[in-house]
A and B are shown apart, each in its own frame.
Chain A
């Protein structure tokens, strides 16, 4: 729809609706205090809920109500001590699944997200999306006011319009949501459906898990949630499942999986992962054996395993291994695999006796598991048929992310009244009559379920920065309960569901989980299911595969600079997506990185730059969803291309017969690692379990060389770090966590392309072996805090020096910017503010900054500090309590976030500390120790556990 004509259209409609908004607008023009106080998030309520502190800090410069700014502490809130952070438990949902969080709050400003150790989906770790969500909350591009036809309006005007529309009880109301896991919201929605007999609830999100639920329906006759117990699995077969970086609860799975791989001195037990995959993923990189094939061919393999007659190499060896571990093996199918593969996986697990052991079935986390692509199709059909009077879009951005063959935008015009609730004024909202800003999850009350059903109360950390509403509040308005606050809605629900008294409510808030809400295991019976005949792909035809972007997901995070700049784990690309092709295909079509091609699929085409991906199956082109936003905001608009345009609703994940045509044009892609070979240097040391058993010290090199000079004696602490390369899955959560903790600026695509990204921790990704099927190694590299630091010697002003507890400290305000230290750093971990990168102007951006870390200006060097602010805070606490800092008391940001617990920080002087014990492990080696830098960060060599039968 043309926005100009939209506006015209709107003005007339408003007149038609007797314009309460217009009167409101006039009223606003000459504001009286009363109008502000009437607003539903009134100051009184907000004080009641959260304490006065938020008013002071949270609203600086962001709201139009200046009187909020000057409210003094009449009575100082009890717990708030300026300079001391508080932590609140809450949860973030993605795809309907919750990750439990503890959010750090400084004087009422949430600044940093941590995982909630008590939450089953998190266990204290998080992923990049949760880490970066705090930046989204402070995003100045967020939608800030209610809009009516693009013009600023008010909530009460909106309510007026809504009430008018809902006065007809027979209204054909359609509610479009994303996957809803929130019990309260689901109950509210059902309430609305009851109230309006002609109302329907549709769900759509582009990464919907339709296939998994459909597969369960095929196998068991009902959609069930499948939980995997990787902590009990010794042999794992992944059927195109990237369970180590995508999908629900991958954070938890990563923990369980890597826990079974930590082989220490004297141990020999290690799980084994066979991965079949249709593009290189983190899971494949971690696998002991990896096979690539087009996604369409996975089904044949699944059928073979399900039939029990596995005679061809290499599968026979895999099958034998699985059978040897009956009840302790696990077969997992990827969400993009068709339902039948899921059903086959259930059958194989059943045959292997894994059900109840490593595979557990429960009720679904999604409140209404429906086929979402189908649901969206039905909605669009209704819309086109003129059967929809009122469409309420609760979150989501269907105009952008609906499949290309579902013309959602065109169907919108046929709906009389359209309402959109969203964080951003995005692609969908200009096509809606009303846009209501959605409260960020850090601003609103809600609840959510983890992958195992455990419920968490989502409590806000700050009053809404803008004039926003939560989905609960909007649905309440639909149900005729406008003005009921989100808190009351959630509280009301839980009063009836186990948290009747205030004590249990407060305990649930405090802990971040509602006890006893995990789903019990569900007894399901595998039934015979009919398998549709496998489609035979045309020989020689190209296959297209759609995947969620590793750092942007489905595109909702497109305006988040941290995520845009976070290098994608395998391609190391930033700020763009690309069509991933194999080296062979590139050779055939004469394509180089950055060549723009036209991808034509089922009659629709999109242009995309290509990226040659080692390990990509030969005939498969993978495109990542989530880019090509047109209304994302200043950061995300215009980055990459949108693959939704060629995505069909009936085969949303992969399909055959893609046509690829070279356009001859070039597109610049910003990659952070241009060189993927280790050049024969032993930077990542790796071996097999068998090698380790034979010679545990196969990776060990000299850590300390003899010196003529006496070394420094560390009488107190001597901090150090150990990084376990067997555990590191390359997910990059540490990169974003570090960025969040240490106020690391975003530099933008052009500067990344220049080589000026500022990440203090980077994950080096190396390939080894053949281009068609390489081994992939991840290696997190940050400042090693060398004992003989080459950087310290060369700084002319002493801006980088050693502390008495062994840290290599960087003194920003002494730095003159000669950059000599960076030149002399063999690890190249130092980052320089070539320009003024830190945003010190945007008011809302400033609120996110960690007050305990200097915001660096241009011309100074910076680098990893081992999170010195956390070290010092713990030291101060310990000193006050007259004790030493205990092991594990300090967690660096990268350590805390790591789902694989690959990073351990602690005191090397304490022989019993975790880090000291790891340093004494036979697998420990140091990076470039031959330079006699004596790094404090050491690595544990990567171990693989290949099947001896397949190795030969």
Chain B
């Protein structure tokens, strides 16, 4: 009899690894290996883009949101598109870490740290936009229920207030989950650091972790609890974000399908981003033995599944518009397909509904270059999806007299590119200073392959 575990673990770790070799390999990237030039280059690019963000934000605060292309009736533009897009990307990390942990999907192990970090950075990028897009950003705190001398509270019926809570909770829990997961590895780094200063920093961050049995016991419980806490958040955050639209009465927004549709889309885009990042990094840092073909293939399958869900969403949007008999909904559906922005709509369909169909083929799932390209296409497609929802719906609602096209300005693009810069910069710094693969979980896997599998095989 073949143990199910065996098939599961097959291909998740290259052969011949011991505890020490795993730890060496991962820790060395941070501690001893010479920083590759590609890292330098990547950081430089990211940092330059980040400067675009700082500059455009500074100009934005100076002049006002009028520097963007938003207008009446399209009062939400790139800022909200980018916000939803980044939040969606930020879904993969917690999904991989928490939900797959609870489902005991061990293949998550080598990519979870990385995905969680990506989540955090994506949420950071996302969190910027609601702030930037305010007409008066200096009073952003009015969205929080704080003890105000005028006894004013937020208006609880507004989905934007729910957003504040959903996103900030998600950011907090994601950070805790990520940090807690880091603690044993920080201790490993502390122990391996040659430089006293470095050892000191890791030591402080490791919070006195000694690897005692009691530590491990408590740690496992805490980690599991956090996973349990994070799991509903994966579903809730994007559901709440989708409420921003469903609660509105704008044709193209006012739809009950949005929460599951958004969550599926978020996972779809999140995995696409993980794949976009993983494929080059495993190559550069020679991590093919830890992040194996099977990991990538599994991710492709998840993307295929969520891509189908998203496609179903597109179909249902069109169907319900027709089935409702509501002239405004029908006009909106027709406008998307045939109106001024039809090119973008069909590009979105091509990216999100058609492109992932290639993942049905094993050959595609094993072709790194193709997968990398597909993941980029899906990232683009998901950005377009948000553009379609936010901009096209607003450009064409109830009063034909108010219809107007939206055109982004150079500052819209600068802010989008700048947020990518923030993301890339944070990611490169993370790769440089923290173990990007969970060392202790990999060691567990080594333990599994060395002992349990043998036992099972005997």
**Which residues of A are interface residues toward B (Cβ below 8 A)?**
673-681, 683, 751, 754-756, 762, 764-766, 779, 781, 790, 793-798, 814-820, 822-824, 826-828, 830-836, 858-861, 928, 931
Contact = CB atoms under 8 A, between A and B. Distances in A.
Given A679-B400, A828-B402, 18 more contacts: A675-B403, A678-B400, A755-B74, A756-B66, A766-B401, A790-B248, A794-B158, A794-B247, A794-B248, A816-B142, A819-B70, A820-B248, A822-B75, A823-B250, A826-B249, A831-B72, A832-B75, A858-B66
Main secondary structure of the interface of B (DSSP, over half): loop
B142 A797 contact: yes
B398 to A, nearest CB: 4
A814 B142 contact: yes
Interface string B382-424: 0000000000001001111111110000000000000000000
A668 to B, nearest CB: 13
B313 interface: no
Contact of A832 (B72, B153, B158, B164): B72
B136 A834 contact: no
Contact of B158 (A680, A793, A830): A793
B76 interface: yes
Which 8 pairs show the lowest CB-CB distances between chains A and B?
Answer: A817-B135, A859-B135, A834-B66, A755-B71, A835-B66, A828-B402, A819-B75, A796-B160
A832 B85 CA distance: 25
B32 interface: no
B312 to A, nearest CB: 26
Nearest to B72: A755
B375 to A, nearest CB: 32
A686 to B, nearest CB: 16
A819 B135 contact: yes
A859 B72 contact: no
Given A797-B154, A858-B66, A834 B71 contact: yes
11 contacts: A676-B401, A683-B399, A790-B249, A794-B159, A794-B160, A796-B142, A798-B155, A819-B135, A820-B160, A824-B248, A828-B398
B133 interface: yes
B399 A827 contact: yes
B133 to A, nearest CB: 7
Interface in B53-75: 63-67, 69-75
Contacts of B397: 826, 828
A818 B402 CA distance: 19
Contacts of A823: 73, 75-76, 248, 250, 394
B195 interface: no
Contacts of B199: none
Nearest to B406: A755
B173 interface: no
Contacts of B404: 674, 755
Contacts of A815: 135-136
B2 to A, nearest CB: 56
B213 interface: no
Interface string B238-264: 000000100111100000000000000
A729 to B, nearest CB: 18
Contact of B143 (A764, A797, A819): A797
A481 B331 CA distance: 73
Contacts of B248: 790, 794, 820, 823-824
Looking at chain B, what size class is its interface with the partner chain?
Answer: 35 or more
Contacts of A836: 64
B161 to A, nearest CB: 5
Interface in B98-157: 133-136, 139-140, 142-143, 152-155, 157
B135 to A, nearest CB: 2
A299 B309 CA distance: 70
B345 to A, nearest CB: 19
Contacts of B143: 796-797, 816
Interface of B: 63-67, 69-76, 133-136, 139-140, 142-143, 152-155, 157-161, 164, 244, 247-250, 327, 331, 394, 397-405
Contacts of B142: 796-797, 814, 816
Contact of A827 (B136, B154, B398): B398
Nearest to B409: A754
A493 B422 CA distance: 78
A678 B399 CA distance: 8
A828 B72 contact: yes
B136 A859 contact: yes
B251 to A, nearest CB: 9
B313 to A, nearest CB: 21
Contacts of A764: 399, 401
Contact of A822 (B69, B73, B405): B73
A395 B73 CA distance: 43
Contacts of A817: 65, 134-136
Residue of B70, B75, B247, B394 contacting most chain A CB atoms (<10 Å)? B75
Contacts of B157: 793-794
A859 B399 contact: no
Contacts of B402: 828
A756 B400 contact: no
Contacts of A673: 401
B52 to A, nearest CB: 21
A861 to B, nearest CB: 7
B158 A756 contact: no
Contacts of A681: 327, 398, 400
Nearest to A817: B135
Contacts of B247: 793-794
A913 B275 CA distance: 68
A794 B400 CA distance: 23
B135 A675 contact: no
Contacts of A797: 142-143, 152, 154-155
Contact of B135 (A765, A781, A798, A858): A858
Nearest to A826: B398
B135 A833 contact: yes
Nearest to B251: A826
Contacts of B140: 816
B154 A818 contact: no
A798 B152 contact: yes
A793 B248 CA distance: 9
B135 A818 contact: yes
Contacts of A754: 69, 71
Most chain A CB inside 10 Å of its own CB: which residue of B72, B331, B397? B72
A823 B73 CA distance: 7
